[in-house]
Each structure stands twice: as structure tokens, then as C-alpha cells.
Amino acid sequence: MALSGLGNNDFRILKKLSHRAQGRTYMAELLSTKDLFVMKKEEYLSDEDKARVQLQIEQMKRLTSKFTVRLVCSFQFDVDMCIVMELCENDLRKTIAQLQMLPEPERVTRVWAIVSQVIRSLDHLHTNNVVHQKIKPENIFVNADGSIRFGNFVGAQPLNEKDCLSLGSTMVYMAPEVWLMKRCDSFSNIFSCGVIAAELLTGKHPFYANNELAIVERIKKGSFDKLPAFVPYDLKELIESMIDADYSKRPTTRQIMIQSTIDTYLRIQLEKEKDFEVSQNRAKVQSKPQSSSIRVVSVPTVDEQVYQSYPAQPDPQYLQAVQQQHAYQQNQIPNQNQISTISSVPVLETVPSNPQSSSKKVYYIKKAKPKQNSEILKPAIKIQEEELEIYPVDSPVLADVHIHGNIYTHTQENENKCTILFNPAVNKGIVKLVIRNLHSIKAVGIVDEPFLFNQNEEPSTCIVVDNAGL
């Protein structure tokens, strides 16, 4: 139903979620549907209050996207403006606690993914000239597809000491310049997200002290606890740059998003979101009654908004491959049993190897036959392509490896070295294989005949790669 024209009598307050000097927040039930929402009651008496509240409402409307909590409706009741929003319960405060129960390598992997999505969503705000003044774990939510959205955001405005102290638990996430210079800008938001990233890893505030005022004093001095040894150097370097006391030394959202590991996780998330969209569309189709003369087909779409929020232009070859995939899918209706990529650029993607089993994955490499020299400058020539299914060879080393999609991670339960082989052997054409090294890889090789390796065995001849170059 369209949630418009609603008033106070359409809702029932269930419980109070928070209380501030300028308003209260409740969990409310829409009586007609029993759906639950968040209702903020903001003071709406003075001209200053009205301007502040209207700015918040207009910003929520303008920033409507998957990166922000959705505004449902707003209405005035007595001396309050009631702002009704969707209820998001999976916030980062809960995630921080859950991550501490994971093994350290898995925790690091999860933190990379979460930080990449937090920065992606923050970039959406900054791109629209909005500075979030209340960044803390309780105001950042995880969506079902793994993306992140911000809630409870307001526009930038001058701050004084009283304002800062009135923000309660938010104050321990505020940057030094907020306290020392009474300014809050996009770099202040980077600081807040850096503090949260450290908490995700350790479960502890990096400026921890016995009370909030003592934490603020440490923040002013830039005195933070060093991250533990299990945190990879590149992640440690990123977080420490984000919480640098000198705001001019902090990176922007765009600079963070082109960091190699962050970029990798952004691309992985795009694939997850496309898969999630496909499954959601398929579920909708299956739930609708279908006419005997009309067949409804679910077609995966490219989320253009996602690419607009990217740090700069994405890899042209990657974007070209995605766009051509979309065009190919449109031409294949209603034959949509599998998703395949048609591109003049060899790319790697994952699809279910068995339509009845979604737990198994296979990998496709698109092979393009080489062009003749005379054809190189003729972009209109179509390249003949073929699909090659590749998959890890079943061997004892896989007992020491976690496989998640196209990510291979050592279990860390021992110090065994693992040599992973893939089938089938590539013996013709040109194949482009891109490997993004997240933690550690020793070498890459190509074999021309099948064989196996056990734990701690490796080929005598291989191509040693520089980790920094992956």
C-alpha cells in the first residue's frame, strides 16, 4: 500500500528507542498492516527547529537510495514533527560483537568487505554534499545483500561545545577538529569510519579510556592504540590514515575506493548484488499467478546507480564486459536458465554448476582467439569466443582451504603450503586470467598435463610473482 496521508492515529507506539534534547525515537506499529517502523518525534516549535527538521526531511528525500535508510512519511502532531522510517535492526554494533567470535583471518576478510561498503555508502552522501554528523555503529546498517546504509543523518551546520556534548555516545566517534576547531566536514566522517573499522577488528575503541570524556581527550591528542599483529599491513595502514589527528592527511572516500583490496571487495559486492537481484526477481515471478498465454521472465539488470557511485571510472574493460553481458541477456529472453558473459575482453565470473544445487560454483574464462596484426585497429570485427569451464582439482590440499566463490583462503589451522590446480588444461587460444592477491601468494604457473600435489608439495619450476604487483 502507498504510505501517504497517514497521521498519528494510524500508528501505535510500542517502545522508546532513544531520547535526546530535541526529540525522541520510538518503534511504532502501523495499525492497518502490523508492519513495524521507526518514528522520530522532533520538536517543531521554533523557526530554528522547523528549519532543522525540514532540512533533515528534504535530505532524506533527496538521498533516497540503497545507501540510506528510507523515509516512509512525515506528519505534524501537536508540537512535534513525526518522521517515519523503515526499521533496520542489523546495525554494526551487533556486527562488532559477532565478528569477535570468528577466527582472526576470517574476521579480517569480513572487515575488508564491510569497510568497503561503508565507504561506498559514505561516498554517496559526500557526492551529494552531505556530511553525516552522527556516525556511530548504531547508525550504520547491513542490508540483506551485504551492502551498507546510513541512518539518522543530518546536514552540516556549525557546532559548539554544547552541541558536541549533547550528542551522547556519538561524541566518542567525533574527529579532533570537531572538538578543537568546532568544524565537521567530510574528513571528520572518514575519522569516524576509521574508528569503527578498528572496532570491527578488535571489538575495542582505538582511543579507549575509562570514560567518554577521557576518550575525547585521547582523540584530541591523536593517541590511539596500535592495531594487533594479525591485521594485514595494508589494512592497518588504511585505518591509521583514516584516524590521523591531522585531517589533511586523511584519505577521501574516492581515494579509499581505489585502494586495491577495497576495489576488489567492491567488485565482489557488485556481483553479489546482481545475483541477489536475480534471485529476488525470480522469487517475485514465482509468487505471481501466470496466464496460460503469457510467460513472465525475470531478467537481471545492471544497477547503473552503483557504477555512478564508483570512485572514478571503473576499469573500461570490466564495464564493457558488464554492459555487453546485459545486452546479451536482453536478446536471450526467454532463455534465462543460465547467466553467461559475452565480451571481447576475457573475464572471470561465477555461476552455479548445477541448476539444482546453488552451493557449488564453477568459473568461466572467456577465451578470445588472437587477432591478426591487420585487424588490430578494426574495432568492428567480431572476435570468435568460446567458454571454458574451470574448477579446482580435487586433491588433499583442499582440506586446508576455505573456498568462497572465487576467493581461496587458508584455514590457518596449520602451516601447510597449498598448491591448487584447476581443470581443464588450457591448450589453445589466448586467455586473460586476473588474480587479485588479498593476503599471500607465492607463485602462478601453467601446466600442460594433469597431475596432483599433496600438502607442502609444489612444482620445481614456476613463475614467481611479486605480491605487491597483484
- 8-86 matches 92-260 in fold: no
- C-alpha 149: how far from chain center: 9
Q: How many CB atoms lie within 10 A of CB 14?
A: 13
Lowest mean pLDDT among 396-400, 404-408, 464-468: 464-468
Residue 132 has pLDDT above 80, yes or no: yes
With b for 16 or more beta-carbon neighbours within 10 A and e for fewer, the 153-175 pattern comes to: bbebeebeeeebeebeebbbbbb
Give residue 405's pLDDT band: very low, low, confident or very high (50, 70, 90). Answer: low
Give residue 42's pLDDT band: very low, low, confident or very high (50, 70, 90). Answer: very high
The closest of 197, 337, 314 to 263, measured between CA atoms, is 314
The domain 92-260 is placed in CATH, from the list 3.40.50.300, 1.10.510.10, 1.10.15.40, 3.60.15.10, at 1.10.510.10
pLDDT score at 144: 83
Indicate the fold that domain 8-86 takes in CATH.
Answer: Phosphorylase Kinase; domain 1 (3.30.200)
Give residue 17's pLDDT band: very low, low, confident or very high (50, 70, 90). Answer: confident
Give residue 276's pLDDT band: very low, low, confident or very high (50, 70, 90). Answer: confident
- Cell numbers describing residue 191: 575519522
Q: At what angle do helices 233-242 and 104-127 cross, to 10 degrees?
A: 40
pLDDT score at 306: 41
Answer yes or no: are the C-beta atoms of 23 and 118 closer than 8 Å.
Answer: no
Residue 375 CA to residue 56 CA, distance in Å, equals 57
More confident residue, 362 or 15: 15
pLDDT score at 468: 39
Lowest mean pLDDT among 118-132, 208-222, 288-302: 288-302
Residue 244 has pLDDT above 60, yes or no: yes
**How does pLDDT run across 65-96, given as a tens digit for each residue?**
889 999 999 999 999 999 999 988 889 999 99
- Find the mean pLDDT for residues 149-175: 63
Answer yes or no: are the C-beta atoms of 110 and 73 closer than 8 Å.
Answer: no
Residue 197 has pLDDT above 50, yes or no: yes
**How does pLDDT run across 411-465, given as a tens digit for each residue?**
777 888 888 877 766 666 666 566 655 556 777 776 655 566 777 877 765 444 4
Residue 322 has pLDDT above 90, yes or no: no
* Phi, psi dihedral angles at 280 (to 5 degrees): -65, -45
Residue 278 has pLDDT above 90, yes or no: no
Q: Which residues contact 50 (CB under 8 A, 6 or more apart)?
A: 44, 81
pLDDT score at 56: 86
**Domain residue ranges of the chain, discontinuous segments joined by +:** 8-86, 92-260, 383-470
The closest of 52, 44, 39 to 8, measured between CA atoms, is 39
Q: At what angle do helices 186-202 and 92-99 cross, to 10 degrees?
A: 30
- C-alpha 380: how far from chain center: 37
Give residue 467's pLDDT band: very low, low, confident or very high (50, 70, 90). Answer: very low
**How does pLDDT run across 337-359, given as a tens digit for each residue?**
333 332 333 333 333 434 344 34
